[in-house]
Amino acid sequence: MDYNAAAEILEFLEKYDEHFKELLSFINEKQEKVAGDDLVWLLDSLTEEQKFVMRGNSLEAKRLLIFETHGCKGYDAEKVVGICPEELKGRMRLVVNSIDDSVKYIKETNKNVLDLARRKLEAQAEELEDSLIAGSDTYDHSGSKIKKINNDDNIIGSV
């Protein structure tokens, strides 16, 4: 790979790395908001999250095109570093490592966010079930009041 091709790939990968750092920041904020039960923020952030996904898809398509244009079709970033001219190899290695670290961190954090949300929902469902068993009122999806009768109660005992 010649110097100009490597420089163009490096410039693109630096932009790609910036995208992952922004996504990483967003995912960290999302984790904090899930932990803090900030449902309003989570609902409001859906559009921003979709923008990240769309931008990531667009950048990946550009990466594939740039790699193909410079004779690196089917190469992963490690292989590109391996054929990069020596004078750019250090910077290329740094940006590739940064992208790899960000992707790993994002995947792990997303997994943690999903697990945290699942556990919170299970705990809320358990609390709701406990409150229904105790005979407290709650509402269904249409706003109608639901009252669960304790197992010891029967139709005659309720009269």
State the Rg of the chain over Cα. 26
55 lies in a domain?
yes
Residue 108 lies in a domain: yes
Residue 83 lies inside a defined structural domain of this protein: yes
Question: pLDDT digits over 134-155, tens only?
Answer: 555 555 656 666 555 555 544 4
Residues 6 or more apart whose CB falls under 8 angstroms from that of 91 comprise: 10
pLDDT for 53: 95
pTM above 0.85, yes or no: no
Establish if 84 belongs to a structural domain. yes
Number of domains within the chain: 1
**Which residues span the domain enclosing 92?**
3-117
Ranges of residues in the chain whose predicted pLDDT is under 50: 153-159
Q: Is the dihedral of CA 108, 113, 118, 123 positive or negative?
A: positive
Domain assignment of residue 18, yes or no: yes
Q: Is residue 159 part of a domain?
A: no
